[in-house]
């Protein structure tokens, strides 16, 4: 390389060595920049030294935007690459921070061309490397080694080391190219050795026939477009692709095969897998239509398809209310939690278990009550593998309100107990200070509405407050039991009154 960039007549500059890797160039460029060496004062020397895997962080410290282009362009075989990358870096650091936006700038245009060419080559290398099983050496390694011969135009192997290492993580393999070879032992790091020749790689193993069969089978003669095919699978790669040997014959036979397909009688649907199965949504709709409008089972089927708010997407399922349609007491919670979302039933998690214990204390059986929530989908924030509860917003309460209203209309309970602030807001249509409403009675249609602390609040509260919350919740449940009368704990099934769930 000459001292003044790309000009053969210019005097030689300061020799500037750097190893072959992108990280080596970054380090050398860093030193040159720090020393204030202008691009034309440097003579970048031919790269010498050991290759190693190129990693994402190798360009750390380069200006944002430039690192990604430079990391790819560096693999281009052009002799000017390293000085030109340095000139770009110099310009970015010396008053031209927006340089990369100037697509017409010759340095930028070149950078982009190189980056595109390398990216395309890397893509083709991933697609067209074909491994063959190498015959084990006598007395050599017992495990098979898979070896590929490939002739990339650019030095893409170090940039693809991570890709191949992850894809063939447990196999021992080598990719040989004329300039360098990349090896992996089925564990540890990828390592590089000197270039090889086609004769060093095995030829013709059992996989070759598999590739040919595969290609013959995916080749559709009726869709033959030779130019598009050659753009996808350029001819320069054919010589190392076992399946490419099939191409000429397949092209020659394409017209006749297409005509034969047209002439053949329409195929009978011999491969049919039976009638198309009904979609889950369709099945729910059909089941729902068979049930009495407004009944709890019908509401539950309809709610299972509810998409009225964005909570439906991330949640596992709609958690509808559960309990007898004749229940005299309805408990309304906030929303299903993690356990409820997975089980599809309300109050089965820690808060539900606590609630069940308190119900038993005041002489109520869970099975005699109807338990539901103001919001029927679990709202959460993912954190690693965990799903952290998030309070529902007013919009979620509003979207779910019709389901709650319909449930209450179907049951017509004597007493409703709103557990926690969300349920109170859903039933009263406004926020209330729960602490002030202990013992107060509200109306919800013909029912008495009591406001009580949510059992989950007892689980979260410090010991001193938990006792008071517990007492208030028990009082409300006991009051609900009194107001509902003996009917609150229903008679056995055969003595039940006429009203049925469906």
Of 440, 439, 417, nearest in space to 359 by CA: 417
Applying CB under 6 A, does 337 fall inside the site for ligand URA? yes
Applying CB under 6 A, does 347 fall inside the site for ligand URA? yes
Are the beta carbons of 148 and 184 closer than 8 angstroms? Answer: no
Enclosing H/E stretch for 386: strand 386-389
Q: Which stretch binds ligand URA (CB under 6 A): 7-15, 167-175, 267-275, 328-336?
A: 328-336
DSSP state of 45: P
Whichever of 132 and 387 has its CB closer to ligand URA, that residue is 387
Total residues contacting ligand URA by CB under 6 A comes to: 13
Applying CB under 6 A, does 318 fall inside the site for ligand URA? no
Query: What are φ and ψ of residue 94, in 5° steps?
Result: -120, 65
Q: Which residue has the tokens 């491969």?
A: 271
Applying CB under 6 A, does 335 fall inside the site for ligand URA? yes
Q: Residues with Cβ < 8 Å from 492, sequence gap 6 or more?
A: none
Residue-by-residue DSSP string for 114-162: HHHHHHHHHHHHHHH--EEEEPPPTTS-SS-EEEEE---SS--HHHHHH
Applying CB under 6 A, does 323 fall inside the site for ligand URA? no
Q: Which stretch binds ligand URA (CB under 6 A): 174-182, 189-197, 309-317, 332-340?
A: 332-340
Q: Which stretch binds ligand URA (CB under 6 A): 67-75, 167-175, 340-348, 361-369?
A: 340-348
Q: Which residue has the tokens 């089965």?
A: 348
Rounded to whole angstroms, the Cα distance separating 62 from 89 reads 8
Applying CB under 6 A, does 469 fall inside the site for ligand URA? no
Applying CB under 6 A, does 331 fall inside the site for ligand URA? no
Of 241, 232, 71, nearest in space to 154 by CA: 71
Applying CB under 6 A, does 336 fall inside the site for ligand URA? yes
Shortest distance, position 411 Cβ to ligand URA, whole Å:
17
Residues 365-384 that bind ligand URA (CB under 6 A): 373
Shortest distance, position 355 Cβ to ligand URA, whole Å:
8
Give the one residue of 333, 413, 453, 490 binding ligand URA; rule: CB under 6 A. Answer: 333
Chain residue at closest Cβ approach to ligand URA:
333
Q: Which stretch binds ligand URA (CB under 6 A): 61-69, 342-350, 408-416, 458-466?
A: 342-350
Of 255, 266, 267, nearest in space to 223 by CA: 255
Residue 335: CA atoms inside 13 Å, Cβ hemisphere, count?
29
Shortest distance, position 460 Cβ to ligand URA, whole Å:
12
Give the one residue of 352, 392, 453, 490 binding ligand URA; rule: CB under 6 A. Answer: 352
The torsion defined by the Cα of 183, 186, 190 and 193, in degrees rounded to 10, comes to: -20
Give the one residue of 39, 297, 346, 392 binding ligand URA; rule: CB under 6 A. Answer: 346
Are the beta carbons of 297 and 268 closer than 8 angstroms? Answer: no
Q: Which stretch binds ligand URA (CB under 6 A): 18-26, 157-165, 329-337, 360-368?
A: 329-337
The residues that touch ligand URA, with contacts defined as CB under 6 A, are: 333-337, 340, 346-347, 349, 351-352, 373, 456
């Amino acid at each position: 390389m000459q001292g003044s960039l790309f000009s053969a007549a210019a005097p030689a500059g300061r020799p500037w060595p750097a190893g072959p890797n992108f990280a080596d160039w970054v380090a050398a460029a860093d030193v040159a920049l720090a020393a204030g060496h202008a691009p034309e004062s440097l003579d970048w020397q031919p790269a010498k030294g050991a290759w190693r895997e190129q990693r994402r962080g190798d360009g750390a410290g380069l200006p944002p935007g430039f690192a990604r282009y430079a990391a790819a362009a560096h693999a281009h075989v052009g002799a000017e690459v390293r000085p030109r990358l340095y000139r770009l870096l110099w310009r970015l650091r010396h008053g031209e921070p927006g340089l990369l936006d100037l697509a017409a700038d010759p340095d930028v245009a070149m950078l982009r061309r190189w980056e595109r060419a390398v990216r395309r080559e890397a893509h083709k290398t991933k697609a067209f490397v074909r491994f063959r099983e190498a015959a084990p050496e006598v007395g050599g390694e017992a495990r098979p080694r898979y070896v590929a011969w490939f002739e990339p135009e650019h030095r893409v192997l170090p940039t693809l080391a991570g890709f191949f290492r992850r894809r063939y993580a447990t196999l021992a393999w080598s990719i040989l190219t004329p300039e360098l070879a990349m090896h992996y032992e089925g564990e540890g790091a990828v390592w590089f050795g000197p270039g090889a020749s086609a004769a060093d790689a095995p030829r013709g193993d059992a996989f070759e026939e598999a590739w040919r069969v595969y290609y013959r089978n995916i080749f559709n003669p009726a869709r033959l477009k030779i130019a598009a095919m050659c753009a996808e699978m350029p001819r320069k790669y054919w010589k190392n692709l076992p399946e490419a040997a099939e191409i000429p014959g397949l092209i020659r036979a394409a017209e006749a095969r297409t005509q034969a397909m047209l002439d053949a009688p329409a195929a009978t649907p011999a491969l049919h897998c039976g009638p198309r199965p009904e979609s889950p949504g369709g099945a729910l709709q059909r089941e729902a239509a068979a049930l009495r409008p407004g009944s709890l089972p019908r509401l539950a089927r309809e709610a299972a398809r509810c998409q009225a708010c964005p909570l439906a997407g991330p949640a596992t399922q709609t958690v509808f209310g559960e309990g007898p349609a004749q229940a005299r007491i309805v408990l309304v919670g906030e929303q299903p939690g993690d356990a409820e979302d997975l089980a599809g039933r309300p109050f089965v998690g820690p808060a539900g278990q606590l609630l069940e214990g308190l119900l038993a204390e005041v002489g109520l059986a869970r099975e005699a009550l109807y338990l539901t929530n103001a919001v029927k989908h679990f709202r959460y924030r993912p954190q690693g593998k965990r799903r952290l509860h998030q309070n529902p917003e007013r919009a979620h309460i509003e979207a779910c309100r019709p389901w709650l209203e319909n449930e209450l209309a179907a049951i017509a309970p004597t007493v409703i107990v709103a557990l926690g602030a969300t349920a109170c807001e859903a039933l009263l249509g406004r926020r209330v200070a729960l602490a002030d409403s202990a013992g107060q009675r509200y109306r919800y249609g013909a029912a008495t509405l009591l406001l009580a602390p949510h059992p989950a609040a007892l689980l979260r509260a410090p010991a001193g407050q938990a006792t008071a919350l517990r007492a208030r919740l028990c009082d409300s449940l006991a009051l609900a039991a009194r107001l509902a009368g003996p009917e609150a704990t229903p008679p056995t099934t055969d003595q039940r009154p006429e009203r049925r769930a469906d």
